[in-house]
Amino acid sequence: MAHIGNTQSAIWTRFSRSIDLAVVACLAIVAATGAIALSPPAPVAEKTVIVAEISAPPAPKAPSVRQRAPQLQPQFFPWKAPETYTPVLPEAPKPAIPNRQQEAFLTRMRGQTPFRASTHDNLATHYGGNWREDNVSETSSGTLLSIHRVKGESMPYTIAELQSPGKYGYGRYEVIMRPARGSGTVSAFFTFTGAHFGDPHDEVDIEFLGQDTTKVHFNYFRKGKRGAFEGFDLPFDAADADRLYAFEWTPDQITWFIEGQPIYSTPTGDAGIPAAPGKIMMSAWVGKPFIEGWTGKPTFTSGTGAHYSCVSFVPMGGTGPGCGDNYTPPVVLSP
């Protein structure tokens, strides 16, 4: 249906035949319908309804004794009862500071001292010589650790090392020392512990290379990993006289001192600060050829050595004497 204005019209579909045929067809339909209406109706057959009987479902049979109590069978044979669960707890970390409060000490490095000489060979280490007690000698003002060229030994050099019998942790460490002169030599004052002592490798160092004793090297390790080490030029030649060096070691930082003045501190928040207490050690040594890029070729004069005239330790938060208490810087005359 279409809408055009307000007039409504219907569209139809025409048949294909004429109107006369349509009229005749209509009359024939009416006649047939009347004949059907006047004829008597046919008799209706009776319907038979069959109702099916629905019987109740049979009652379930009582389960047999075997069904009531089935035998449990293990899934695996032979079957084993589960073990009692025991939780695995993390191992408690070792304390960074020994429970026993460490005592302060000071030694002038003459006569009886708390330090003992190392006496073993170094075939499997980076050291190029063997530790020998004969290389440790007393002087009028302290102790000399010598380095010698030798024949008939398992290695071409003998070197010297002193170590404390006990371990020391956080605190202030001071030393008055004079490093060895000569390329290939290393002089050190440090704390150390490692696998040989049943600990991780923790270390704090003051080191001098004999090839240039106008420089000092500060170094440290935590569990064998080297920290933010540094080296500094000195306003003097360290091999000319005994001078005061120190470091303060705390859980958060290490600070190194020269002649009582702070020179270098580890970075703030450094996670590599050593934590395990270590032995206090002094050494004069030569390295194997594979570290000559650092130490220099060993061209030193046999008998050179490092001299130590004072060592002290004061535990963190404690009090005690220090090597720097009555220290006076030496006067070195120019040549």
**H helix runs in 7-158, sequence order:** 19-38, 65-68
In DSSP notation, 145-213 reads EE-EE-SSSSSSEEEEEEEEEEEE-SEEEEEEEE---STTEEEEEEEEE-GGGTS--EEEEEEEETT-T
Which residue is catalytic, options 174, 203, 207, 248? Answer: 207
Domain contains 70: no
Residue 221 is predicted with a pLDDT of: 97
Q: 146-193: per-residue pLDDT in tens?
A: 999 999 999 999 999 999 999 999 999 999 999 999 999 999 999 999
Q: 205-237: per-residue pLDDT in tens?
A: 999 999 999 999 999 999 999 999 999 999 999
Domain contains 80: no
The CATH number given to whatever domain includes residue 310 is 2.60.120.200
Average pLDDT, the chain: 81
99 φ/ψ angles, rounded to the nearest 5 degrees: -65, -35
Residue 4 is predicted with a pLDDT of: 38
User: What average pLDDT does range 254-269 have in this prediction?
Assistant: 97
Residue 57 is predicted with a pLDDT of: 53
Nearest partner of 113 among 147, 159, 145, judged by Cα: 145
- In terms of phi and psi (left: phi > 0; alpha: psi -120 to 50; beta: otherwise), the region of 113 is beta
Predicted confidence (pLDDT) at residue 300 exceeds the cutoff of 80 = yes
* Distance between CA atoms of residues 277 and 288, nearest Å: 28
Domain contains 142: yes
Predicted confidence (pLDDT) at residue 64 exceeds the cutoff of 70 = no
Domain contains 92: no
Q: Domain range holding 177?
A: 107-315
Domain contains 282: yes
Domain contains 41: no
Distance of CA 326 to the CA centre of its chain: 43
Q: Determine whether 161 is an active site residue.
A: no
Residue 320 is predicted with a pLDDT of: 96
The answer to whether the beta carbons of residues 147 and 299 sit under 8 Å apart is no
Find the range with the poorest average confidence among 60-74, 110-124, 125-139, 263-277. Answer: 60-74
Residue 260 is predicted with a pLDDT of: 96
Total domain count, the chain = 1
Tally: H helices and E strands in the chain: 3, 20
Task: Provide, rounded to the nearest whole percent, the portion of the chain with pLDDT above 70.
Answer: 69
Task: Provide, rounded to the nearest whole percent, the portion of the chain with pLDDT above 90.
Answer: 66
Domain contains 270: yes
Domain contains 65: no
* Beta-bridge partner residues of 208: 187
